[in-house]
Amino acid sequence: MSIVTDIFAKILAKVKSLVPGANAISDVNLTAELDKLAGGKGLKWKTSVVDFLKLIGANSSRENRDALAKELGVDASLKSGSPEKNEALRKALFKKVAAHGGNIPASVLD
């Protein structure tokens, strides 16, 4: 199973646990539901790929982020674990989520 596929499965599981009857991430206001889920946990999921992965219950280790970055085509010349690579990964991941029906604000994608 790819890391992206695993992430989508985790997002969908969270969505289904938060909104009975939801069958896809497009069935809900994903941003609002993730904000609710993050409430009180101190996770800044919109600006931190590490916090986003933690929020949905995915592996946020540097090794996993590097593998995810490779899968999403993030610039391989960026240093592993660097703020630049994490930011590029965050944008790539959120664009992928948005492309699959996830309500991600444009301000978070840029």
Residue 55: C-alpha distances to residues 49, 51, 68, 79, 90 (Å)? 10, 6, 16, 24, 14
Indicate whether this model's pTM tops 0.85. yes
Q: Give per-residue pLDDT as tens, 58-83.
A: 999 999 999 999 999 999 999 999 99
Mean pLDDT, the chain, as a whole number?
Answer: 94
Domain limits of the chain?
3-100
DSSP 35-80: HHHHTTTT--TTT-HHHHHHHHT----HHHHHHHHHHHT--TTSPT
CA dihedral 18, 23, 29, 33 (to 10 degrees): 20
> How far separated are the first and last CA of the chain, in Å rounded?
28
Q: Give per-residue pLDDT as tens, 15-42.
A: 999 898 999 999 999 999 999 999 999 9
Distance CA 30, CA 14 (A): 10
Q: Give per-residue pLDDT as tens, 80-95.
A: 999 999 999 999 999 9
- Return the structure tokens found at 57: 């219950």
